Structure 1
Amino acid sequence: MRLLLTGARGLPALIAARQLHRAGHDVLVCDTFPTHATRHSREIERSFQVPAPRFEEEAFIQRLLALIEEHRIDVLMPTGEEILYVARHRERLRARCEVVADTFEQLAALHDKWAFNQRVAARGLPAPRTWRLEGPGHLEALLREHARLIVKPAFSRFGQKTRLMEAGAPLSGLDCSRTLLAQQFIEGTELCSSSIVWEGALLAHVCYRPRYRFPSGPGYYYEPLGHPGVREWLLRFLEGTRFTGSLGFDFIQTAGGELYALECNPRMTSGFLLFPEDGRLGRALLGQAIAEPDLETPAMVGFPMLAGALPRIRSWKELREWWRAFGAARDALWRREDLKPFWYQLAAFPHLLQLSRRHGLAMGEATTHYTEWNG
């Protein structure tokens, strides 16, 4: 089959492209950025630039339709947050090829942190107490009752604009132009999961700990865990659904072992790195196989491990731990048979920097500026 992947600059897209290629398929990719690491992979056939769906939604869909027609695409597979825009036009796209995306309504409800929290609670699963903020006064009143609260937008990603608020702290800097949530602060260990679901059936699943991460942002060191509790949680959450697609969840596990789901990412996430590169994950992405993760070997992105984690080390103990972790993991981009993505992993950086400066965005915000969905 011939597949077109969107969101190609993201690491999950490179993982998916490699897995699908090894499953025997022809892979083409597209992205709003002119260049990125995946563009240089020998395991893709072509790479294209497309309009930004957040600002040129119809032009984005028209470009996808043209690519599908011109390159005889059998399956369109979104990998990032642009899946919301694809899903909103799913029927138009499905007239030309198969689209691996659930309905817009389903995806939007999972992406919305308020709606997701209410859905978790309705299923009888532990959910942090959450409030939709009506303004700074509402937050002040809540902080008089709760010593610490997490404040974040209802629509966000990678921990962007998430703040820990304490009673008595100044409330300046809150973006009140967006729907904000206040959430119960829960002490515990952060866990993540990545899964592939096909018509409600779980075809691939892994739980992991983001051991090293950007400050208040995404991780870049993924430590796999055999965690039956997370798997059981997911099966209960999916019970009775016919969902198809990729799902990532963030959890906090308390010292007593209770799992609280914080948010859902209804798209591909970096846990896919933890699967053997034998093509089974590629077949699972198409609903054709079950894939099992490698629970013995951590995965990492080596560059931020060196440039991000190493400078923050403050003791010999931390240095020894970092060195052991670095030596135990395999690099997400390094492949002897496909070297260029490793050497071009910063290819998107000049465009990212330009975007950040032009719009006054933090670098993390610039990465999703063209594709994010904010309700």
Structure 2
Amino acid sequence: MRVLLTGARGLPALVAARQLHRAGHAVLVCDTFPTHATRHSREIERSFQVPAPRFEEEAFIQRLLSIIEEHRVDVLMPTGEEILYVARHSERLKALCEVVAATFEQLTALHDKGAFNQRVAALGLPAPKTWRLEGQEHLETLLLEHSRLIVKPAFSRFGQKTRLVQAGTPLPPLGFTRTLLAQEFIEGTELCSSSVVWEGALTAHVCYRPRYRFPSGPGYYYEPLGHPGVREWVLRFLEGTRFTGSLGFDFIETDRGELFALECNPRMTSGFILFPEDGRLGRAMLGQAIAEPDLETPAMVGFPMLTAALLRIRSWQGLREWRRAFGAARDAFWRREDPKPFWYQLAAFPHLFQLSRRHGLAMGEATTHYTEWNG
């Protein structure tokens, strides 16, 4: 089959492209950025630049339709947040090919952190108390009863604009141009999961700990865990949904073993790098196989491990732990048989930097400026 992946500049897209290629499929990719690491992979057939769906939604869909028709695409598989725009126009796209995505209603309900929290609570699963903030005074009132709260937008990604606020300390100015949530702070260990789901059934699943991460942001070191509790939680959440696509969940596990789900990412997430690169995950993405992760070998993005992680080490013990972790992991980009994505992993940086400067965005915000969905 011929598969078109959107969101090609993200690491999950590179993983998906390699897995689908090794499953015997021809892979095409597209992205709003002119260049990126996946574009240089020998395991893709073609790469295309597409309009920004956030600002040119109809032009984005028209470009997808033309690529699908011209290049005889059999399957369209979104990898990033642009999946919400694809899902909103899925009927038009399905007239030409299969679309691997849940319904627009399912995706928005999962992407909205407030709606997701309500669904978790309704299922009887542990859920942190969460409030939709009505203003600064509302937050101040909540802090009279809760000493620490997490404040974040209802629609966000990668920890952007997430902050910890504490009673008795000056509150940062909060912009209310977006819906903001306050969530009780849960003490414990952070866990993440990445899953592939086909009509409500798990075809691939892995739990991992983001051992090294950017402050209040995404991780870049993925330590796999055999965690039956997380798997059972995901199965219970999916029961009766008929969901198809990829899902990532963020959890806090307390000392008592309770799993509190903080949020859901209804798209591909970086945990997919923890699967053996034998093509089985590619088949699982199409509902054709069950894929099991490699629970013995951590994975990392080596560049931030050599820069961000190393620069934050403040003790000899921390340095020894970092050295052991670095030596134990395989790099997410490097493959002897497909080396160019490793050497071009910063290829998107010049465009990202220009975008950041032009719109006054933090670098993390610039990465999703063209594709994010904010309700």
Q: TM-score, normalised by structure 2?
A: 1.00
Q: CA deviation at 1:241?
A: 1.3
Query: Is 1:305 equivalent to 2:305 in the alignment?
Result: yes
| 3-state secondary structure, aligned to 2:53 | coil
Are residue 102 (structure 1) and residue 87 (structure 2) matched?
A: no
* Counterpart code for 1:361: L
Mapped to 1, the partners of 2:101 and 2:20 lie a distance apart of: 17
Structure 1 partner of 2:37:
37
* Pairing 1:29-108 to 2, within 5 Å after superposition: 29-108=29-108
- Tell me the SS of whatever aligns to 1:237: helix
Distance 1:116 1:48 in 2: 34
Q: Which runs of 4+ in 1 moved over 4 A?
A: none
Where does residue 175 of structure 1 map in the other structure? 175
Moved more, 172-181 or 52-61: 172-181
Show structure 2 runs of 5+ residues with no match: none
Instruction: Give the aligned partner of residue 208 of structure 1.
Output: 208
Q: In 2, distance between residues paired with 1:15 and 1:91?
A: 27
Q: Which residue number corresponds to residue 13 of structure 1? A: 13
Shift of 1:172: 2.9
Pairing of 1:98-177 with structure 2 (within 5 A): 98-177=98-177
Q: Please list every run of 5 or more consecutive structure 1 residues that lacks an aligned counterpart in the other structure.
A: none
**AA at the equivalent of 1:176:** F
Report the count of equivalent residues: 375
TM-score (norm 1): 1.00
* 1:186 counterpart residue number: 186
Q: 2-side partners of 1:42 and 1:174: how far apart?
A: 46
Q: Match of 1:224, SS?
A: strand
Tell me which residue corresponds to 1:279: 279
1:145 aligned counterpart, secondary structure: coil
Q: CA deviation at 1:171?
A: 2.5
- SS of equivalent to 1:338: coil
CA distance in 2, matches of 1:143, 1:183: 11
Q: Quote the Cα distance in structure 2 between the aligned partners of 1:115 and 1:76.
A: 27
Q: Provide Cα deviations, 1:95-118, integer angstroms capped at 9, x if missing partner.
A: 000000010000000000000000
SS in 1 for 2:76: strand
- C-alpha RMSD of the superposition: 0.5
CA distance in structure 1 between the aligned counterparts of 2:174 and 2:56, rounded to whole angstroms: 28
> Which AA in structure 1 matches 2:124?
G
* Corresponding residue number in structure 2 for 1:330: 330
Task: Supply the AA of the counterpart residue of 2:206.
Answer: V
Q: For each residue in 1:28-59, what CA deviation from the matched residue of structure 2 results, as whole angstroms up to 9, or x when unmatched?
A: 00000000000000000000000000000000
- Tell me which residue corresponds to 2:217: 217
| 1:338-349 to 2 correspondences below 5 Å | 338-349=338-349
Following superposition of structure 1 onto structure 2, how do residues 224-373 of structure 1 map, counting pairs within 5 Å?
Answer: 224-373=224-373
